[in-house]
A and B are shown apart, each in its own frame.
Chain A
Amino acid sequence: MTVVYEDLGDEAEEGAVPVRRIRFTINGRKKIAEVEPRLLLSHLIRRGLGLTGTHMGCDTTNCGACTVLVDRHPVKSCTMLAVQADGHEITTVEGLATAAELHPLQEGFKEEHGLQCGFCTPGMMMAAKALLDENPDPTEEDVRWALSGNLCRCTGYQNIVKSVLWAAAKLRSESADTPDGSQP
């Protein structure tokens, strides 16, 4: 990459921003990036990697639109620095589906009308995935609690909860079909 600036003299050079090199995995692919230490993980994902499915709603860790999985834990990526992702594995909404088929959560959100404007949806699905990975048979209350860090202004949540329960049921029936009972 080439960056050309106005020549403002040597003094300006002294304030130049340092850069750190990090290695991480995103949606199964290994990456190296050179980033400013202050760069947010959400900006690395959106602008550095071009994965715009991770949305930014508030920059203040409240809305949850930017939720991704870091080593299977749900994390609001506007709250984590990119340098903190060094050595970790990140999953975004783009990593949910395979080329051939949707993840049951994606199917569930469409089946149960769990989205309207769609802006909170990727974060909701990632938070829900973290729940279902831990608890394959959640109650409605479990789902509501697990999603309580994610705001939605359109749906009133009732259909989001139904979407997650739909996905849980499908995942359970799929894992019952596989001989070793493991989840896809």
Chain B
Amino acid sequence: MTQALDEIKIGGLGASRKRVEDDRFIRGKGNYTDDITLPGMLHMEILRSPLAHARIKSIDASRAWDIPGVHLVLTGDMMATRNLAWMPTLSYDTQAVLATDKVRFQGQEVACVIADDPYIAKDACEAIDVDYEPLPVIVNPKQAVAEGAAVIRDDKQNQADNVIYTWEVGDVAGTDRAFEQADVISRLQLHYPRSHPSPIECCGSIADFNRATSKLTVYMTTQAPHIIRAAVALVAELPEHMIRIISPDIGGGFGNKVPVYPGYVCSILASILLERPVKWIEDKTGNLISTGFARDIYLDGEMALRQDGKILGVRMRCDADHGAFFSDAQPSKFKIGLLHSAFAAYDIPAAHLRARGTYSNKAPGGVAYRCSFRVTEAMFFQERMMQAAAADLGMDQAAFRRMNFVRDEDFPHRTPLGFLLDSGQYRKCLDVGLKAVGYEDFRKRQEEARAKGRLLGLGISTMTEPLGAGNSREYDILGIKMFDSAELKVHMTGKAIVRTGARTQGQGHETTWAQIVAHELGIPAEDIVVEEGDTDTAPFGMGTYASRSTPVAGAAVAMVARKIRAKARRLAAHLLEVSEEDIEWELGRFYVRSAPDRGVTIQECAMAAYSNMPDGMEPGLENTAYYDPPNLTWPFACYIVTVEVDPATGVWDVLTTVAVDDCGVRINPMIVEGQIMGGLTEAYAMASMQFITFDAEGNCVGSNYMDYLLPTAWETPGFELHSEVVTPCPHHPIGAKGIGECAAVGGPAAFVNAVIDALSGTGVRNIDMPLLPDRVWEAITYHRDISGAPPIATDD
């Protein structure tokens, strides 16, 4: 007779449990970095460069020093005396902390003022006189590689041009053969514009160097506190055990809060020099013009096709604009992130990718903005190319995709560019999406509308995303292997605490990690507290980005719970006075196989671990697990969008957005759906309005929320979500896959494809994002493609 607990009732796997973190946020009791005040705390402000490329002739800070309440003015020269004018990036490059020789992008950090009050610090920044000698400005890869282009990184030995790397993957000869055999060759060129993750909370830190203990505590907006601790130890040459990084509540990250920023370093040095806490809180313009951007990549690809629709091969070339410093946060073996995941969901025999990265006079970054390292660019290009190829073949969009999908029975599937896909049901996802949107019926309505001069369009996008780096063999950042960890302590009364090396920023770890433990041990989720973000208490981890928390840290939570259960089994055998082999487990309880009524609960085992353990057993019920995933997890999704375009104005309205996400087992369906809707909104944002561009002088156009447009509740369409396709991950302990980013990765192409589909017959093949009304209108009116590439500087 089973006495197992009802998993949903105890808040286990599959429960749409309400979030425990909400209780403080809805009361205004969150604890974000700027909410923290320490005794004697000073305030830091940064003076930024107004020019994109200029030599610094002199910096005169004497007037700033004279302002009452100013404690310290930091300049590059002062940083240099401590070997801190430059710091290493996460991609084996260097980045200026405070400029010494030149400024290389608009908004670059030139000086810092530390004062009693942020208003005084701002006043003092304005009193610093910097004499600049302007230099030629480079704002795109074409200019960067032009004959005679100014060398941006003349600080680096052996850097005679603006090329950072060239990188390639795949089989050139095999791909060439595929193209020789092709009936049709399809081609597409596009620019994925620069974008900014732009969480509502900007970056900031409070450095607190304690002169009595020589210990440095830094509260900061970081998605990866342990990585920051290592970076601070290396950059500031402080002993790692004397550094404590605390990441309090984070007001959104989306990749923006992974890198190390100069503001963090300056606040740390200032605190060490002044022996007082120093707070730095960035303003929105500082955040938008200087911190980790995303995308800004030029893609050019060709597809070799057989007349019947079979894809024989793919070639891709890309030029990536990395800004003034190569500071992408990504696995070190892959220079252009995981761009080579493009076309992974399609069974293609041969492929080749060549990438080149260049410097420009723009802010550095290249962060994984709600994606797993350039996967967004990969999936966008993939699905735009699929649409173009189907159109070239005269084939139906859905049928063309279906015939080329990797089949359910072909997993694990090795892609020509080296990935191993774990599992999926791609056709089923597509079919669910087509049914939900009423595909056949829509095509009829589209034709009828066209006859009346109305432009309806339907866009399909599918995506699969490599989520959850490691494994550690292939994935590392600066040599640090990408695994993750969890620690679980079960107290004697059966309550528990979980800590992981991840760091939630809205994903709801405080709720979901407890659900995994509830699933594994039968301890009710409400009896489990979750803590993250303090390097003195949390086990080492690589942090939260690239949808890696559930695939890696979440797996570690399951694994550590299993270690606890194994020890509890020995305690149960002792309490029940039978051998371990005679014990069975059901949720929350061990029982004797031959006498199921004789059992002990997990809580009774916990008490025994502290009060009645067998002779020779180590007391306590605590453990730690480090999880090195055997492979990435590969969720799949199909997004279908329908739109109506107004031919007179170029304005387009979304009619329906259907999302079919297969992310394996869902720990908390409510939270999963929240992640999908957030991702869809960012997808709509990128497709419709959100981009950061630069004029020919390198001025950032998009330096505030009046120019950098984010959709509000008014513009954002409604979403219809489908969860009926579930393919458990075969190698994840609870069958889960990543989900936080899928819709932001796969979504943009669905919106763009819908608009291009509405324009079918006009000869328009591509409009670069964002599809602003003027671009769409120009395309309709003049029957031409619209490139959004930044302007080329002219002599006049």
Contact = CB atoms under 8 A, between A and B. Distances in A.
A110 B199 contact: no
Contacts of B249: 117-118
Interface string B4-43: 0000000000000011011111111110101101000000
A2 interface: no
Contacts of B29: 53
Contact of B712 (A117, A125, A150): A150
B283 A59 contact: yes
B753 interface: no
Contacts of B68: 5-6, 8, 12, 15-16
Given A59-B283, A59-B284, A117-B252, A152 B200 contact: yes
Contacts of B24: 118
Nearest to B70: A6
A51 B24 CA distance: 14
A120 B704 contact: no
A118 B25 contact: yes
A42 to B, nearest CB: 11
A112 B677 CA distance: 13
Interface string A144-175: 11011111111111111100000000000000
B682 interface: yes
Interface string B675-699: 0011111100000000000000000
A54 B28 contact: yes
Contacts of A118: 21-22, 24-26, 30, 249, 251, 506
Nearest to A112: B670
Nearest to A161: B713
A52 interface: yes
A152 B634 CA distance: 28
A151 B677 contact: no
B529 to A, nearest CB: 18
B678 A154 contact: yes
Interface in A45-59: 46-47, 50-59
Interface string A119-143: 1111001000000000000000001
B691 to A, nearest CB: 16
Contact of A153 (B35, B710, B718, B719): B710
B784 to A, nearest CB: 33
B300 interface: no
B119 interface: yes
Contacts, number: 184
Interface string B244-267: 000001111110000000000000
A31 interface: no
A58 B707 CA distance: 13
B505 interface: yes
Contacts of B35: 46, 52
A177 interface: no
Given A60-B706, A119-B251, A156-B681, A151 B712 contact: yes
A56 B719 contact: no
Contact of B705 (A56, A106, A119, A151): A151
B680 to A, nearest CB: 6
Highest count of chain B CB atoms <10 Å: which of A60, A113, A120, A121? A113
A89 B69 CA distance: 32
B116 A110 contact: no
Interface in B126-155: none
B713 A148 contact: yes
A161 B250 CA distance: 23
Contacts of A157: 681, 712-713, 716
B377 to A, nearest CB: 20
Nearest to A121: B25
A116 B507 contact: yes
A97 interface: yes
A5 B120 CA distance: 12
A100 interface: no
Given A60-B704, A147-B713, A151-B710, A116 B508 contact: yes
4 smallest beta-carbon distances between A and B, as pairs = A53-B28, A119-B251, A118-B25, A117-B506
Given A107-B26, A147-B713, 6 more contacts: A12-B67, A62-B706, A113-B674, A118-B30, A148-B714, A153-B198
8 contacts: A5-B68, A46-B34, A53-B30, A54-B28, A55-B200, A62-B704, A119-B30, A157-B716
